[in-house]
């Protein structure tokens, strides 16, 4: 049996982002038979149809290829002004453009961490319809909203809160299960 490939996309460019740390925790907590690799959004230009018409930049083509090759995607999104960060939405916009559509039928899990009390609830709610319109199969539960993240990660960015680790583990298992439903053995 081949290894399940999950691509983790942190929706923040900041090196010390809690959402980047959440993606690293997903690498560590991957279920048996699965691996998680992190994709970066650095260097993706602002979406411009004129540029896309002439040919998408290589950084976009590389991300699009990685999404297509992955069995599933895990997105760790921050929340900016009650919504999805521009860098994440921009990457989704670029990768959703024709001719290929790597999101269609792709199992996707969403989580997010913030230093506030809502734990990215609104950003995750805003991201779900975007992914749904692209045909992605978003895992409905468990929902992982990491509030007061500064208390759940150590100084090195390691997720130390056991309840949060368990909830993230459960989300990754649900994501792997959704892949299994699409591709039964």
Per residue in 120-132, pLDDT (tens digit) is 999 999 999 999 9
Q: CA 173 → CA 2, 164, 169, distances in Å?
A: 16, 14, 6
Segment 70-103, tens digit of pLDDT: 999 999 999 999 999 999 999 999 999 988 899 9
Could you tell me the CATH number of the domain that includes residue 168?
A: 3.40.50.360
Range of the domain at 151: 4-182
Between CA 7 and CA 63 the distance in angstroms is 10
Give the model's confidence band at 181: pLDDT under 50 very low, under 70 low, under 90 confident, else very high: low
Total count of residues recorded for the chain:
185
Q: Are the beta carbons of 171 and 139 closer than 8 angstroms?
A: yes
Q: CA 23 → CA 13, 49, 57, distances in Å?
A: 12, 30, 25
Between CA 103 and CA 185 the distance in angstroms is 22
- Residue 16 has φ and ψ, to the nearest 5°, of -95, 20
Segment 142-155, tens digit of pLDDT: 999 999 999 999 99
Residues 6+ apart with CB under 8 A from 130: 84, 89, 92
Strand ranges (E), the chain: 4-10, 34-38, 72-76, 107-113, 137-138, 144-146
Segment 1-10, tens digit of pLDDT: 579 999 999 9
Quick one: tokens of 96?
Answer: 């959703």
pLDDT at 112 over 90: yes
Q: What is the mean pLDDT of the chain?
A: 94
Q: How many Cβ atoms are within 10 Å of 161's Cβ, its own excluded?
A: 17
Number of structural domains (the chain) is 1
pTM recorded for the entire structure: 0.95
Percent helix, percent strand, percent coil in the chain, to nearest 5: 40, 20, 40
Q: Are the beta carbons of 26 and 176 closer than 8 angstroms?
A: no
């Amino acid at each position: 049996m081949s290894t399940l490939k999950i691509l983790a996309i942190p929706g923040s460019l900041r090196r010390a982002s809690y959402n980047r740390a959440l993606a690293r925790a997903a690498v560590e907590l991957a279920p048996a038979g699965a691996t998680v690799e992190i994709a970066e959004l650095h260097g993706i230009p602002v979406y411009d149809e004129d540029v896309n018409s002439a040919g998408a930049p290589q950084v976009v083509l590389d991300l699009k290829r990685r999404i297509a090759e992955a069995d599933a995607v895990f997105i760790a999104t921050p929340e900016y002004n009650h919504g999805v960060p521009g860098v994440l939405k921009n990457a989704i916009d670029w990768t959703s453009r024709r001719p290929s559509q790597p999101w269609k039928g792709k199992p996707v899990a969403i989580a997010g961490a913030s230093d506030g009390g809502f734990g990215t609830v609104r950003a995750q709610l805003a991201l779900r319809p975007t992914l749904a319109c692209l045909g992605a199969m978003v895992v409905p539960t468990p929902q992982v909203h990491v509030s007061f993240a500064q208390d759940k990660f150590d100084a090195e960015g390691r997720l130390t809160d056991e309840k949060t680790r368990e909830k993230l583990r459960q989300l990754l298992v649900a994501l792997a299960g959704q892949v299994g439903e699409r591709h039964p053995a």
